[in-house]
Amino acid sequence: MIELCQFPTAYGLPNLSPFCMKVETYLRMAGLPYEIRWKSAPFGAPKGKLPFIRDGETRVADSSFIIEYLKGRYGDPLDGWLDSEQRATALAFQRLMEEHLYWAVLHLRWFDDANWPSTRRAFFGGLPPVLRTLVPRLARRGMTQELHGHGMGRHSGEEVVALANADVTAIAAHLGDKPYLMGDEPCSLDAVGYAFLANLLWVPLARNPIRDDALAYPNLETYCQRMKARYYPEA
């Protein structure tokens, strides 16, 4: 049985980490049995981050490497119909969400003073009292350094929102009236799309101008509802 080690669920979402939610969604889409090991912090995790999986004696970290491992180990039931041009497009949109939009949403969650209390509570509320003050402070400090190193943390709040809104507009335009991101059938990009868009649309932040912009595109909400109904019918 595959073990998925990830942060606890919150706000009705499978996970507040879109990378954790991406892996769980992929497992469901691929029909692979798994069980979850909840972790409030990535102590002892390979590469110091969640998610990671255990598959027998094998441990794999990083959501993209996890999915590539699962494809190699159990086959690729989702992406076989994509041609080379479609694969290139899917990779470009994956990078847009994981390497750009993600950092804008992270900035809003962790560094907007109106949103930090709910973020701290959701991610660290399950820690023992002795760690509940120290760990969030250290995590926020580390996230500040990561955002600055990435470059997103060097922009003003208004600039971050403008960059994110351009990403959202591109995703909405690409999705159009298709049921899934690459066409009539789902592929592994939809594990990414659902995880990142649901985290953008459905996490109840006190202030979220990126979500406000996304709600102007009804196809994004409809897409998330479609993915939820198909792959998380119990939710």
**How many CB atoms within 10 Å of residue 33?**
7
State whether CATH 3.40.30.10 applies to domain 2-74: yes
Lowest mean pLDDT among 3-7, 33-37, 92-96, 116-120: 116-120
* Strand, coil or helix: 186: coil
pLDDT tens digits for 225-234? 999 999 999 9
Instruction: Give the Cα separation of 120 and 138 in Å (integer).
Output: 11
CATH topology of domain 84-231: Glutathione S-transferase Yfyf (Class Pi); Chain A, domain 2 (1.20.1050)
Instruction: Give the Cα separation of 134 and 203 in Å (integer).
Output: 24
Domains of the chain, residue spans = 2-74, 84-231
Residues of the chain with pLDDT > 90: what percent? 83
Phi, psi (deg, nearest 5) at residue 34: -155, 165
pLDDT tens digits for 161-189? 999 999 999 999 999 999 999 999 999 99
Phi, psi (deg, nearest 5) at residue 76: -125, 85
Whether the predicted pLDDT of 139 surpasses 80:
yes
Whether the predicted pLDDT of 40 surpasses 80:
no
Whether the predicted pLDDT of 93 surpasses 80:
yes
Compute the average pLDDT of residues 3-10.
92
